[in-house]
Amino acid sequence: MHRIRVIPVVAATLALAAAPLAQNQSSSSSPAAAPASTRAGRDDTRAERLKADAVKDVESMKDFTQQMVDSIFSFAELGFQETETHRYLVDVLKKNGFTVQEGIAGIPTAFMATWGSGKPVIALGSDIDGIPQASQKPGVAYYAPMIEGAPGHGEGHNSGQAVNITAAIAVKKIMEREKLPGTIRIWPGTAEELVGTKAYFVREGFFKDVDIALFTHVGNELGVSWGDRDGTGLVSVEFTFTGQTAHSAGAPWRGRSALDAVELMNIGWNYRREHLPLEHRSHYVVTNGGDQPNVVPRNASVWYYFRQTTYPKIKELWAIGESIAKGAAMMTNTELQPMRVLGSAWPQHFNKVVAETTWANIQKVGMPEWSEADQTLAKALQKELGGREQGLTLKVGAELQGPVRDNRGGGSDDIGDISWNVPTVTLRFPSNIPGLPGHNWANAISMATPIAHKGATAGAKVQAMTVLDLVLKPALVDQAWDYFRTVQTKEIKYEPLIRPEDKPAIEMNKGIMDKYRPELRKFYYDPSRYKTYLEQLGISYPTVKR
Ligand SMILES: [Zn+2]
């Protein structure tokens, strides 16, 4: 079946929407004569009216949102190799009137898109990269890879840009119609799984003139929070040792094994682990273990994530890692090469004022309505994984989450770096299923189904309303900065974990993508031919075990 691709160059919708609203414009003109309280009331009424327009418009763009979610899902690209995703997003943004600076901060798959002029400058961001070995048929409630061993969206990063772009287009139409000043920026969290880029965006000054950063991330609820978050920041470091080759049987005494150094470093770290603070997290993979057994390995490398809950504690953990690496080099008479920093993330801290503003909008939007098919998929997957068959989240949480008190550690996101430079929040939107392991094929299952589509539309509504609040009420931006200056950064000042000599690790994942891209390309979503990606794949929704 041939269908027309929805390209929301939205002149027609704009004309329709503008007609009834033009009459109302006079009611908000010349407010100077009114008493302050009346004026504030009138401003609020206007804001609520414009926000309602934006929500309606986001709803009308739901097919466009779905196409973005499904397209990026089908590209299934790993960090730093998001070339199709980058090309696709830049194309959509340019078609919708954004000016796009490509390849920012020396990262080919990063961009900064801009529309509008003047204050406030609102930057909308979301991650775009996938997870190794997470290839999975969407809508199928058990392990069913599309391509065995290939990457996939096992974190759900295919959905966040759709949230932001849909919201931005809706807001842009209103700003044009109402002649509102303000600048909207859209940017990708490139290589977030490697926490590989956001510190570089900050270092290169891309957030210098930004007033508020509204980040969004997939979750299984509609939520936001403020203050110190649970979880960690981290530094990602590769240690490389150099030894000497020799015939492993003929003259092993003439060799010095770099692999021995890697193994001893890992053993040393794992003994030390017992005496590290409980909230820390650390893990490693061996990235080079030598060439073949009969040649003593001259080079070997191991890649560590050192995670802790504060900047000084991350630095301490990193220093312990370095000293253990030096010890391993001494034991094996090999040489430790200069450490390579592959990524970094500050612990996250979110802005109270922006979170409260977002929270009020979350209350208004509420959770999507799930169909029986959506719930059947969710429960079947939860059963498959041996968990509680709780289904999908039905209601928004009872209250806005404040600062975490007893941080037991956990994951990281380099949005942390931005959150210490500009008032920031992360909006979580409900495109995934509760009770999943994360970074896994199971987390990809909902991500090109009605669950992801409805969740992204709900997120876009909230995001559009929050941008409009910030554009229409400059006092909110001032209050956000007041919290940022007098509370958040009163005692803690941002210092990057990346060192001056560090550069984005843009070559990472190239080998894996070169291997799988030809196969993946056969499955790229074609919205001109199929209404949804499920339809293109011929998957009946939901597919569950009987
Ligand atoms: Zn993520």
Ligand 1 mean position, distance from CA 12 (Å): 36
Residue 14: pLDDT over 90: no
pLDDT of the residue at 35: 66
Neighbours of 486 (CB within 10 A): 9
Give residue 28's identity as a one-letter amino acid code.
Answer: S
**Which three-class secondary structure state does DSSP give residue 253?**
helix
Q: Is pLDDT above 80 for 383?
A: yes
Residues 6+ apart with CB under 8 A from 123: 185, 186, 187, 207, 210, 212, 213, 214, 422
- Quick one: which of 93, 198, 199, 218 has its CA closest to 153? 218
What's the CA gap between 73 and 376, in Å, rounded?
22
Q: Burial of 59 by CB count in 10 Å (0-12 exposed, 13-18 middle, 19+ buried)?
A: middle
- Kindly state the percentage of the chain with pLDDT values over 70: 93
More confident residue, 176 or 406: 176
When pLDDT is cut at 50, 70 and 90, the band that residue 147 belongs to is: very high
For residue 311, the CA-to-ligand 1 centroid distance in Å is 21
What pTM was estimated for this model as a whole? 0.92
Q: According to the model, what pLDDT value does residue 41 have?
A: 79
Of the pLDDT bands very low, low, confident and very high (cuts 50, 70, 90), residue 38 is confident
CA distance 451 to 431: 5
Identify the pLDDT of residue 546. Answer: 83
Give, for 304, the enclosing helix (H) or strand (E).
Answer: strand 299-308
For residue 81, the CA-to-ligand 1 centroid distance in Å is: 16
DSSP 320-340: HHHHHHHHHHHHHT-EEPPPE
The whole-number average pLDDT for the span 139-147 is: 98
Ligand 1 ion local residues (Cβ < 5 A): 155
Q: What pLDDT sits at residue 34?
A: 55
Report the pLDDT averaged over residues 74-93. 98
- Alpha carbons 139 and 449: distance in angstroms, whole number: 6
**Is it the case that residue 33 has pLDDT exceeding 90?**
no
What is the rounded average pLDDT of the residues 413-421? 98
Measured in Å, residue 193 CA sits from the centre of ligand 1 at: 7
Q: How confident is the model at residue 190 (pLDDT cuts 50, 70, 90)?
A: very high
How far away, in angstroms, is 68 Cα from ligand 1 center?
17
Ligand 1 mean position to 64 CA, how many Å? Answer: 23
CA of 45 from ligand 1 middle (Å) equals 36
Mean pLDDT of 148-166: 98
Give the model's confidence band at 36: pLDDT under 50 very low, under 70 low, under 90 confident, else very high. Answer: low
Read off the pLDDT of residues 322-351 as tens digits, 9 standing for 90 and up. Answer: 999 999 999 999 999 999 999 999 999 999
Mean pLDDT of 474-486: 98
State the chain's mean pLDDT as an integer: 94
- Whether pLDDT at 25 is above 80: no
pLDDT tens, 272-323? 999 999 999 999 999 999 999 999 999 999 999 999 999 999 999 999 999 9
For 211-243, the pLDDT digits (tens) are: 999 999 999 999 999 999 999 999 999 999 999
Q: For 333-449, where are the alpha helices, taking DSSP H only?
A: 352-365, 372-384, 415-419
> Given this model, what pLDDT does residue 42 score?
79
- Encoded amino acid at 484, one letter: F
Cβ atoms of 220 and 392 within 8 Å: the answer is: yes
Q: Compute the distance from residue 157 Cα to the ligand 1 centre, in Å.
A: 6
Mean pLDDT across 137-150: 98
pLDDT band per the 50, 70, 90 thresholds, residue 12: very low
Give Cα separations from 487 to 315, 351, 481 (angstroms). Answer: 23, 10, 10
Question: pLDDT tens, 423-459?
Answer: 999 999 999 999 999 999 999 999 999 999 999 999 9
pLDDT of 506 > 90? The answer is yes
